[in-house]
Amino acid sequence: MKIVKLILSVLVISLAVYGLVTGEPIKVIPYSMMFLEAYMVVLGIDEFNKKKNSYIGYIQVVVGIIAFYVSYQAFIST
C-alpha cells in the first residue's frame, strides 16, 4: 500500500506542477482529479485495514467515489 500511495501522490503533484508550468491547468485537472480519487480510495482501504470500525475509511471511500464521478463528468465535457 505504501508504494501505491507514493506513486499516486507523485503523479498528482507532478500533474499539478505541469499544469502550473505550462499555464494550461484546464487540460490537466481531470487527470489530476482521477488520481486524487484513486488516492482517496487507497487511503480508505488502508484505514479499513488498520481499524475494523473506522468511519474515516468510509468517508474517504465515499469522497473518492464522488471525485470519480466529478472527474468522469469533466472527461465527458472536454
CA 56 to chain centre: 16
Give tens-digit pLDDT for 22-62.
988 888 888 888 898 899 889 888 888 887 777 888 888 88
pLDDT for 13 equals 94
Sign for the pseudo-dihedral over CA of 18, 20, 26, 29: positive
Predicted TM-score (pTM) of this structure: 0.80
Q: How confident is the model at residue 10 (pLDDT cuts 50, 70, 90)?
A: very high
Per-domain residue ranges for the chain?
2-77
